[in-house]
Amino acid sequence: MFTNNPFAAVGDLLPMQGYIILMTLAVLVGTVFDMVHKGSGTFFSQRRKRSQAAALRHLGGGETAALALATIAEAAVSGEFCKWPRRISHLLMMYGFLLYLITTVVMVFAYPASAPTPTILSTLWTIGALMILTGGLWFFFFLRVNVAYDGASPFHLGHADLFVGSLIVSVAFALLWHYMQTTVGYTAATWILFGIYIFFTTLLFVSVPWSKFAHMFFKPAVAFQRRVEDASGCSDLPSPSTENYIIRS
């Protein structure tokens, strides 16, 4: 079970290669729309110009590259989260999503229905999906700010929950669909589960302008800019001692 290519038999109903290309375009267009609508690109451009004008020292190419590597390293371990439950939850979702996405693309484009698929790909696809569910459900029901600190019901849904909610449901139905096709074959129920899976997957990718999907692209850019400003001496953020004084006051 869960050792066959889940996409090998759906090509006649839905050309998965074309679907993946469309969803990729949806993410690109949605991210650009989000940047234009919210003015993120203009904000970063203006902030970079102000920081360059206010810089007390010029950063060389080597130092800038080192700051970029430090930013990537911090993102790789979710270093922006101080509490370990949120960090572990985020890491499970992040690496699970990467594993799930990469194996999906490889199985769809490299192994059509006529080509045998290595078992390891389907196994890794399933592991990635389970990692997403573990980290996502942990976050959704226990670690969300409004649930953990504001006492809100874990079933209360807000605008910020669109991304993680659609991701969890999409992956859950992907596993259910895969289970059905490997145990009973392509019955009517199997195709219904596949349709629900495609619906929530499409919602995940076309809702970029209204969800936190684009957030994953902006966070590293913001973190890198802050490192550059700190290193060049033009940061407008308070120092730790000043910040503590403000909080205690």
* Separation of CA 177 from chain center: 22
Per-residue model confidence (pLDDT) at position 241: 44
Cα-based angle 163, 167, 170 (whole degrees, multiple of 5): 140
pLDDT at 1 over 80: no
Taking residues 161-177, report their average pLDDT: 93
Per-residue model confidence (pLDDT) at position 247: 38
On average, the pLDDT of the chain sits at 83
CATH number corresponding to 1-32+73-228? 1.20.950
pLDDT at 49 over 60: yes
State in Å, rounded, how far the first CA of the chain is from the last one: 60
User: Mean pLDDT highest for which of 89-103, 132-146, 232-246?
Assistant: 89-103
Per-residue model confidence (pLDDT) at position 59: 82
**pLDDT band for position 145 (cuts 50, 70, 90):** low
User: With b meaning 16 or more CB within 10 Å and e meaning fewer, what string describes 217-243?
Assistant: ebeeebbbbebbbebbebbeeeeeeee
Per-residue model confidence (pLDDT) at position 243: 41
What is the model's pTM?
0.82
The pLDDT tens digits of the residues spanning 185-198 come to 889 999 999 999 99
Contact 172, 133 (CB under 8 A): yes
